[in-house]
Amino acid sequence: MNAVRIGLQVLLVLGGLFLTLLILLHKGKGGGLSDMFGGGMSSSLGGSSVAERNLDRITIAVAIVWFTCIVGLGVLARFA
């Protein structure tokens, strides 16, 4: 049971860091933090490219894994 908890904690930390990186890679929709990193310069391209849609899908998948780790750790803490 302890190995499962450690595995979930490691996956949670790595998922959180990767999720932060993925969110910062998204194109900005207006003023905000993404403009500070140069996101506002490429706003004239317009449209949603295949890369942007794939980035959305990967971000959602990592967020689901991250959320599942939190729920799993909560269940382990409650019943173990």
25-74: pLDDT as tens digits: 987 776 556 566 665 555 555 557 898 899 999 999 999 999 999 999 99
Domain ranges (residues) in the chain: 2-25+48-79
| Alpha-carbon span 53 to 63, nearest angstrom | 15
Q: Give the pLDDT of residue 11.
A: 97
Task: Return the higher-pLDDT residue of 45 and 5.
Answer: 5
| Alpha-carbon span 63 to 68, nearest angstrom | 8
Q: Give the pLDDT of residue 35.
A: 62
Predicted TM-score of the model (pTM)? 0.75
